[in-house]
Every structure is written in C-alpha cells, then in structure tokens.
Structure 1
Amino acid sequence: MESKLRPLRIGDAILENNIILAPMAGVTDLPFRLLCKEQGAGLICMEMVSAKAIMYNNKNTEELLEIHPEELPVSLQLFGSDPHIISEMAKRIEERPFAVLDINMGCPMPKIVGNGEGSALMKNPALVEKIVAETVKAIKKPVTVKIRKGFDDAHVNAVEIAKAAEAAGAAAVTVHGRTREQYYAGEADWDIIAKVKEAVRIPVIGNGDVTDGESAARLMEQTGCDGVMIGRAVRGNPWIFREIKAYLQTGEKLASPETAQVKEMILRHAMLQLKYKGEYIGIREMRKHVSWYVTGFPYAARFRQKVNEMETFDDLMRGVEAIFM
C-alpha cells in the first residue's frame, strides 16, 4: 500500500509526520507529552490556556506554558473570545518555543461555552474571522483553529467556519466530527471533515474516533484529510503513535505492548510527574492516568478503587507491583 505517513507543512512549520496529539485539558501536560513524543507523534498539542489568564499573570498558567526541548515541535492552544486579548497575548508569548499557535473553537465544557468561548465561537463566523485575522497580524508564527462539526445538529457550519478562518489567514484547521451538543457521544461524522477538505486549500486535520492504525487510515481515505489528530484513545496508551505510524507506513499491525512495557511506562510516567510537579500533586494527578493504563487488565476495576488512595510514589509502586504480579 502507498504510505499515508508523510511530512505536514503548517505555515512555516514542517512536521516530520502527520499524526498529531490532541490538546486535552488535564491529560496532555508536559510529562505525558514527552511520552507521546517518544512514541512518534509528529506534533504535540499542549493543554488549552486562557488568554485572559495570561493577561492577568495567573500563577498557575506559567506551568501550562512550559515547553521542553525534547517535545518539539509543539502547538500552543489559546482559548478566549476577545480578538484583541487573544492577539495581544499571542504576541506576548510568541518568543516561547512553540511552532504553531492554535485557537480553541471546539471545547464543549459548559463553563467555557457559557463565557462565549470554545465551541460557542462557532455560532459567530464573523467573530471567528476577526479573532484569526487579528492574531495572524499580531504574530509571525502560523495560526490554526480547532473546530467541531457545528454547535448542534441544527447549526452544522464547519465548512463556513473553516472558510472564514482560511480567509483570515489561518494556516490549517482541525475538524472534530461531532457537534458541541454531542460532546464525545455517538459516532464522529467523517463526512463533514471531507466537506471541509473540499472547501479550503489549507491543510485539514481530521479528529474523532481514531483508535488505531486501521481507523487512522480509513479516516484519511474517506476524507482526504492531510493529517490525523488523536484524542481520547491516547489516554493510557501513548504507544498509539508508534502503532499508527507503522500501519500508515507499511500496513503492519504492531502487537499491543506487553505487560512489562505497560508497567515500565506507568513508572516512567510517574517519575516524570514527580520531576515536574512534586510528589503531592504529581501522584494525585497520576491516579487517573494509572486507571487508564490498566484498563482491560485482570482486577483493574478493584485496583482502580485503590488508585484513589495513592498519595506517594511508594504507594503507586506497591499498587503497580500488585496488579502486574
């Protein structure tokens, strides 16, 4: 088969391959991003950052903005709804070592949408165009947008939004094939990704229901999209990048990681958490990751109850030893 794994150009940023880690709040922090990069992700997307929080010098935001040389190239994602604030904050942080600036127009969370941010922006194509145009003018780095199919089934306007973003100077668009109303339920509509691809000349990245190499290849075949973004399927499974790369390149299906590899990855992940966040926060944040890593293992359900009691690295070590006996 012809390889679907290829370099991807976004503005002046050239990615080694077209398999991309999605930005996910509470998931794609620095420790996890480093692991995904090691497994072969072509672009690493950070957790979304509030443009207003940067403006007000929010102390927690600095950690969200941290970028490690080993994870490059990186996409930094801002969310907000004020074109002036987003563009000015993009300018303020432009010297940081990210390759691409993404604007979040897809987050479905009620708090974000209630503020007119995230997927609420899809209700206002004129505002989308203004936000992108002002940000493109403010910085030299490429600006991209991440959108959904539409706000709800009565307002499926991904094509209109993508065209507005392109007209304003966006360098690429990522389309998640679900409406805001769907959140992450039901099937992703890949047809809408194909329609966006037909409507714009900038690269289109498809997102939604990619869980392995076969589904990544199908998405690219069915939509003609230029790249694939992996979201929830990466939780507890950074190996998915290695697997998709192999399948797109040769059609080969790699074996799932062995038990010893899963155990080693959990411990490495936990050590990175300790390194960058300290034991108190690091181990507490690690709890959800451990639950994802052990999904499908014998006794995983019983083990998950114990996970929430872990407070130290030693607790985690003992728990991991117990399940991987």
Structure 2
Amino acid sequence: MAGISDLPFRSLCYQFGAGLAFAEMFLANSRIWHTQQSRQKLANERELGIKAVQIIGADPDEMVKTAILNMNSGAELIDINMGCPAKKVNKNLSGSALLQYPKLVEQILLNVVQAVNVPVTLKIRTGWDKAHKNCLDIAQIAQKCGIKAITIHGRTRECLFKGSAEYDSIKQVKQYISIPVIANGDIITPEKAEEVFQYTKADAIMIGRGALGRPWIFEDIAFYLQYGKSKSEKSINEVKNIVLQHLKALYQFYGEKKGLQIARKHVFWYTQNCVGSDRFRRLFSCIDNANQQINALEAFFQKTNFN
C-alpha cells in the first residue's frame, strides 16, 4: 500500500475498527533517511492504534539498522515485507524476490529479531512463481527465527494481482506452524472475509485494496461476523463527511501542495460508485486549491447518489 497507508489513511482505518494498520514501506537504505518522505513514514505519536512500521530491503545489515531506527522512533511493531511484487523493488532482490533465497531470508529475519525488543512480523506471497511455491518453508523458517506472526498473500510474485487469490496455501501453512497466520488477498467484502476465515482457519485477515475508498470496511466485516448480516450502507452524507475529514487530514499532514495531489486519487476511489463521477473526477483533478477542492466535493455530494 505504498503511497496509500499514510497516517491520515491509517487513522481512518483505525477509526472504523481496524485492529492493526501498517505504515508505508520504509526502505532499508540509510542514504535516504534524511528526506522528508522517509521522516513521514516513521512512527507518529498521533497514531490511534499500534505504531506498526513495515520495512523492506535485502541487505541484512541495512535491515537491522532500519528496524532499530524505527524502533527508536517509536515503532511498537516491525513488519518485514517479503511480498511486494513491484519490478523496481524485486530487481534489488527486495520484496517477494527474497522468496527465491531462503538462506538470505533466514539471515535477515534472525538478525532483525535479535536486534530489536519489539515484536517482528513477516509479510510474504505463496512463492516466486507457481512452480516454486515455498510459503510453508518460509513460514517454518520465520517461526524458527522468532517471527511473531506471518501474513500470506494468496498469489505468487508471478501472478502480481492478476486472477484470483488462492487460499489452499494459507490453509496448509496454518496447519503446520503455531504462530498466528494472517490471510490476505481479494478480501473485499464481509462475505469473503467470513469465507476465508472458515476455509483457512487463519487467525486474522488483512485488508488491502478492499479499503480503498471504503475505510469503513473493517466495521462492516466485524458487524457481519458478529451478526451474520450486512451492516447498513453509509449514506451519501456520511461518505461526504468521511471524505472531507480525510482531505483535511491530508492537507495538515503533507501541506497543501502535496495534500492536493494525494487527495485526487482517494477522491477517485471514494466517488467511483457515484452518479456522474467520471465527469466530476476529471474536473476535480484540475483543482489546485484546498478550499476549492472542499467546495467542489460538497457541491458534488449534494447532487449525486450511488449507482
């Protein structure tokens, strides 16, 4: 969720019942730690929930330094990303590319766990490609190294985000390890959440793209799991208030210029199921003033409804 799971978005997710929300991927590259972008990814005292930071890299020493930096900055949990499928990440052996090198995986995990005194978790995919699914082996290595929980996205790196996630691999891992297993991939409705829980017996589920434009999905899922029925849909007015709250938080966190840019993609997701949203989003993308963005949204929500 690079470029998405910043403090304003995490705050909304926590507000609507998320149990844990990870900060954006923090690169294990000490040469860029001085940048504003890196500083904004550090743990923040305004975090509503657990201060959890996700780190990514392939050099064991740099990963240790990165974990220590984040712990000293207030992180209460360190998550190691070995699941990102992005080409620009994998070409440096980071993210899911590491799944091809179990010995290096073991070295990174062991070194980071021993270096910090906060819990360390791991995010992976089922393998590099369909011919080399090794998530069970990686999960067993993780458990041996002291990893406290493992999240598995039900696709290989080769799959990227194409096709459908599979949950057989997650179910198998759950049967063979004792640390908590978190299921991830294509969980975008409460019904799907219940299905994945029932099938995999996972200890928890992770929501990614399902929260885009719908950060209240967490309370929807919790309601469905508790009562066996869907929660009432948010009204247009309720959605408007959430969007406005989000945008104002973006302006405050990033400043107006960058906040305006980031707001555009979130507004695209929030309004994609609204009548007349195509034309509105084209116009909205041209607005370069925070007050004008707010006014345009208020005017749009006054005259629209859901498709």
Shift in CA distance, 244/215, structure 1 to aligned 2, threshold 3 Å: same
Give the structure 1 partner of residue 59 of structure 2: 82
CA distance in 2 between counterparts of 1:239 and 1:55 reads: 34
Question: What does 1:114-193 correspond to in 2, within 5 Å?
Answer: 114-193=91-170
Q: Aligned partners of 1:214 and 1:145: how far apart in 2?
A: 26
TM-score computed with the length of structure 2 as normaliser:
0.95
CA–CA distance in structure 2, aligned partners of residues 272 and 320 of structure 1:
15
2:18 corresponds in structure 1 to: 41
Does the aligned pair in 2 maintain the 1:174–1:205 contact within 8 Å? yes
Aligned to 1:309: 286
State whether residues 53 and 70 of structure 2, in contact with CA within 8 Å, keep that contact through their aligned partners in structure 1: no
Matching of residue 283 in structure 1 with residue 229 in structure 2: no
Q: Is the 8 A contact 2:43 2:52 kept in 1?
A: no
Equivalence map 1:153-302=2 (5 Å): 153-302=130-279
Change (3 A) 1:96 1:251: farther
Match of 2:29 in 1: 52
Task: Give distance in 2, aligned partners of 1:294 and 1:156.
Answer: 38
Q: CA RMSD in A?
A: 1.4
Local SS of the residue matching 2:275: coil
51-60 or 183-192: which moved more?
Answer: 51-60
Q: For structure 1, list consecutive stretches of 5 or more residues without a partner in the other structure.
A: 1-23
1:15-65 Cα deviation digits (max 9, x unpaired): xxxxxxxxx101111111111111011111110000114775344200111
Deviates more, 1:271-280 or 1:90-99: 90-99
Give the match's secondary structure for 2:73: coil
Residues 225-234 or 314-323, more deviating: 314-323
Structure 1 residue 288, shift from structure 2 partner: 0.2
Distance 1:71 1:77 in 2: 17
- Asked whether the 8 Å contact 1:49–1:79 carries over to 2, the reply is yes
Indicate conservation of the 8 Å contact 1:126/1:164, yes or no: no
Question: More deviation in 70-79 or 37-46?
Answer: 70-79
Q: 1 CA distance for matches of 2:7 and 2:287?
A: 21
Equivalent pair of 2:30/2:62 in contact (CA under 8 Å): no
> Following the alignment from structure 2 to structure 1, what is the Cα–Cα distance between the partners of residues 287 and 139?
45
Unpaired segments ≥5 residues, structure 2:
none
The structure with more strand, counted as a fraction of residues: 1
Greater relative CO, 1 or 2 (CA 8 Å, sep 6+): 1
How many residues align? The count is 302
Residues 213 and 247 in structure 1, CA contact (< 8 A), matched pair in contact too: yes
What is the identity, as a one-letter code, of the residue corresponding to 2:22? Answer: C
> Could you tell me whether the CA contact under 8 Å between 1:54 and 1:89 is conserved in 2?
no
Query: Contact 1:152–1:180 (CA<8 Å) still a contact in 2?
Result: yes
Structure 2 counterpart SS, 1:145: strand
Letter matched to residue 135 of structure 1: V
CA–CA distance in 1 between the matches of 2:34 and 2:292? 35
SS in 1 for 2:130: coil
Q: State TM-score, norm by structure 1.
A: 0.90
Q: Distance in 2 between matches of 1:152 and 1:48?
A: 23
Structure 1 residue 66: Cα displacement:
4.0
